[in-house]
């Protein structure tokens, strides 16, 4: 069974090693993992999808939580979260076959991000099944897929969910206006990653 | 300086641990990492962005290549690749403030993926600077950002690039139909020196 964990971890060297070794030790295979910036400059957000028996979920969550670098962990199910993935697909296509690919892209709401004399690159976001749908249609239509790159699933709870994740970060909960409970709400300049100013990308 | 590596690795348990420990050993900080499926069922594709001095790029590439789980490694510069990232942002917004967020979303070509009585979730793809632009505008407009989740950068070379990555995978090149040429994993010293280093910002 697939489990999706969202972990907020300190942005320190070696964090990835710690998390990866944990799963290795538990003998659980990671299906996909993404690490990126979160709403706080010093905290990274990981979405980890792993294949594990149902009863193991608690143990994984507890083990993740026990790592000293972990700020919080949440397990999200398919029902209550938006789960999206980004995919880049490069297809061999010349001027004659290009327009058919554009039509398919339109149906799947994929965007053309690069066009070369002999290839087209599409970008698509969506659930894993939608991405696999596009790849299958392209393959079955006889196109040669040159490269596929997928980010792996990223999850976020639907609605104004004041999970423990948010509480740990001090996000104000609109139902409880006692701001003192959430005294650590970050300032704007704390939220914005510094690298924006450095013009790196 | 930021370096972006695309590594094709065998889809086996412990792969992530191997890669993460390698960077830990080299004492190089991973800025972002994504692992997902590639065009081959038994091969995963990683995009690793790391902060390292310019002269270290060769060493990182060679070290990655030396891992037995590695099928191939490519270093891509900003000039010759499409570099995209997926971001989900949840913003506190009620019925009155929602429409202003929709307008901003439109400008940034972000999509509304969830709507709740007190929050809106946007999905956006693009370069890191574009994503940071949206977050900055939202923050400066006075909105409370509840959650941000980013996949980290994913890179793919522009055009019909028959990189060694593709050759190693045996992808047919329309110009050279001799499949025999594409069966062997090249030697480590064959892929060095890095001929693409000049194209980098």
Q: What is the average pLDDT score of chain A?
A: 80
User: Distance from B85 to chain A by nearest Cα, in Å?
Assistant: 8
Buried residues in B180-190 as b, exposed as e (16+ CB within 10 A): eebeeeeeeee
- Nearest residue of A to residue B118, measured between CA atoms: A160
Considering the domain boundaries, does residue A197 fall inside one?
Answer: no
Which structural domain range is residue B28 located in?
Answer: 2-79+159-172+180-199
Is residue A199, in this structure, part of any structural domain at all? no
Q: Taking a C-beta distance cutoff of 8 angstroms, is the pair B50, A167 a contact?
A: no
Look at chain B and report how many structural domains it folds into: 2
pTM of the model as a whole: 0.78
Regarding whether B132 and B99 lie in a shared domain, the answer is yes
A91: pLDDT strictly greater than 60: yes
User: Residue B128: helix, strand or coil by DSSP?
Assistant: helix
Chain A nearest CA to B139, separation (Å): 7
The predicted structure's pLDDT at residue B166: 52
Q: Does B79 touch chain A (CB under 8 A)?
A: no
What is the per-residue pLDDT for A47?
93
Q: Pick the residue from chain B with its C-alpha nearest to A171.
A: B146
* Residue B106 scores a pLDDT above 70: yes
pLDDT for residue A160: 72
Highest mean pLDDT among A147-161, B11-25, B61-75, B184-198: B61-75
Both A61 and A121 in one domain: the answer is no
> Are residues B18 and B66 located together in one domain of the fold?
yes
- Residue B150 pLDDT greater than 90, yes or no: yes
Q: Searching chain A, which residue's CA lies closest to the CA of residue B133?
A: A196
Q: Are residues B167 and B75 in the same domain?
A: yes
Instruction: Kindly state whether residues A64 and A19 are assigned to the same domain.
Output: yes
B15 & B74 share domain: yes
Q: What percent of chain A has pLDDT over 70?
A: 79
- Domain co-membership, B75 together with B13: yes
Residue B69 has φ and ψ, to the nearest 5°, of: -80, -10
Is A29 part of a structural domain of the chain? yes
| Residue that wins the pLDDT comparison between B193 and A29 | A29
Least CB–CB distance from B32: residue in A36, A150, A155: A36
Say if residue B72 is exposed, middle or buried (CB neighbours under 10 Å; 0-12, 13-18, 19+): buried
Average pLDDT over residues A58-77: 91
Q: Are residues B18 and B69 in the same domain?
A: yes
Complex ipTM tops 0.85:
no
Task: Express each pLDDT in A145-173 by its tens digit.
Answer: 999 999 989 999 998 765 444 555 554 44
A92 touches chain B (CB under 8 A): yes
Mean pLDDT, chain B, whole residue set: 81
A163 plus A178 within the same structural domain: yes
CATH (domain of A178): 3.30.70.260
Residues A86 and A59 both lie in one domain:
no
Answer yes or no: do B41 and B98 share one domain.
no
Domain co-membership, B39 together with B59 = yes
Q: Nearest chain A Cα to B130, which residue?
A: A201
Find the mean pLDDT for residues B115-143: 92
Q: Count of CB contacts below 8 A, A vs B?
A: 227
Q: Please answer yes or no on whether B160 and A6 come within 8 Å at the CB atom.
A: no
pLDDT band at B130 (very low <50, low <70, confident <90, very high): very high
User: What confidence tens digit (pLDDT) does each residue in B56-79 have?
Assistant: 999 999 999 999 999 999 998 767
Cβ–Cβ of B82/A188 closer than 8 Å? no
Residue A1's closest CA among A44, A60, A41, A43? A60
Hey, how many other C-beta atoms are within 10 angstroms of the C-beta on A133? 15
Is the separation of the CB atoms in A123 and A110 below 8 Å?
Answer: yes
Cβ–Cβ contact B141 with A under 8 A = no
> What CATH number does the domain containing B141 carry?
3.30.70.1150
With a pLDDT cut of 90, the percent of chain B lying above it is: 51
């Amino acid at each position: 069974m697939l489990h999706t964990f969202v972990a907020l971890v300190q942005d320190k060297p070696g964090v990835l090693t710690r998390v990866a070794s944990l799963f290795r030790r538990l003998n659980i295979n990671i299906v996909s993992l993404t690490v990126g910036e979160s709403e706080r400059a010093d905290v990274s957000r990981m979405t980890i999808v792993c294949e594990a028996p149902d009863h193991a979920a608690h143990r994984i969550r507890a083990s993740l939580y026990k790592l000293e670098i972990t700020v919080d962990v949440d397990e999200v199910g398919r029902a209550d979260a938006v789960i999206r993935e980004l995919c880049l697909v490069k297809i061999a296509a010349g001027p004659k076959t290009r327009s058919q690919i554009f039509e398919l892209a339109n149906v799947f709401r994929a965007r053309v991000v690069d066009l070369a004399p002999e290839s087209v690159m599409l970008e698509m976001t969506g659930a894993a099944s939608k991405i696999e749908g596009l790849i299958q249609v392209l393959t079955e239509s006889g196109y040669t897929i040159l490269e596929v790159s997928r980010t792996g699933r990223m999850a976020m709870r639907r609605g104004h969910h004041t999970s423990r994740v948010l509480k740990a970060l001090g996000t104000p909960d609109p139902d409880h206006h006692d701001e003192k409970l959430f005294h650590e709400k970050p300032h704007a300049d704390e939220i914005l990653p510094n690298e924006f100013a450095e013009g790196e990308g």
